[in-house]
Structure 1
Amino acid sequence: MLFRVVPGSPVPLGEQIAACVRGAIAKGTAAPGERLPPAREVAESLGVNVHTVLRGYQRLRDEGLLELRRGRGAVITARPGIADQARLTESVYALITQARELGLTDAEFLLTVNNCLAGRPG
């Protein structure tokens, strides 16, 4: 799996690492049950702290995309629909980025989403 980060980006490095894995799952280049490289190995290859990689892996675990097990490492969750979930999560992050570029606060963004869910115009 290929990991790329942009150190000067406003996106935290841990999130960039999570986005690499999320994208690979969404595209099908990383399969359910596949083991990710050890955090220490990824950190060394990217020139970042191992805790940064672990934060990215933990975010993916919180999203339900990874299982973290001692001695076994990080494994992509083996359940139906995992690629669809990864694609949806990527889309949500893209919307958040767009909202921030437009200057919306989190509260304004959430209000817009809630209005759309309720069938009311933005």
Structure 2
Amino acid sequence: MLFRVDPTSTVPLGDQIAASVRRAVAEGAVVPGERLPAARMLAESLGVNVHTVLRGYQQLREEGLIELRRGRGAVVTGGASPHRARLQERVREVVADARELGLTEDELLALVRTALGSS
């Protein structure tokens, strides 16, 4: 699996790492049960702090895409489907766009509720 980060991007490095994993799951390059690189090893290869990698992995854990196990590291969960990973990535893009436009959380949620109601 290929991880890339752009230190000049406005997107935090941890978010970029999480996005790399989401993309790999969405493309089917990473499958449930597969282990991700150890945080320390990945941090060294990317030239970032280990806590940056751990922040990205923590996001993925909160999304249900990976499990973090002491001694086993990060493992892609059985619930990690390509469709879910793509959707999560698109939701993050929508949130980023809303922030750029200066929308509040309530305004964004109102837009989502409206879209859900019109389905």
- Give the structure-2-normalised TM-score: 0.91
Residue correspondences, number: 119
What's 1:84 paired with? Answer: 83
Residue 8 (str. 1) matches residue 8 (str. 2): yes
SS at match of 1:5: coil
Q: CA RMSD in A?
A: 1.6
Aligned-partner residue type, residue 92 of structure 1: V
What's 2:38 paired with? Answer: 38
Structure 1: unaligned runs, 5 residues or longer: none
What's 1:19 paired with? Answer: 19
Q: 57-66 or 85-94: which moved more?
A: 85-94
What's 1:107 paired with? Answer: 106
SS at match of 2:75: strand
Aligned-partner residue type, residue 57 of structure 1: Y
Deviations 1:64-101 (A, max 9, x none): 0001101111000023x622110110111121222233
SS at match of 1:67: strand
Q: CA deviation at 1:105?
A: 2.6
The whole-number CA distance in structure 2 between the counterparts of 1:4 and 1:106 is 30
Aligned-partner residue type, residue 13 of structure 2: L
- Give the structure-1-normalised TM-score: 0.89
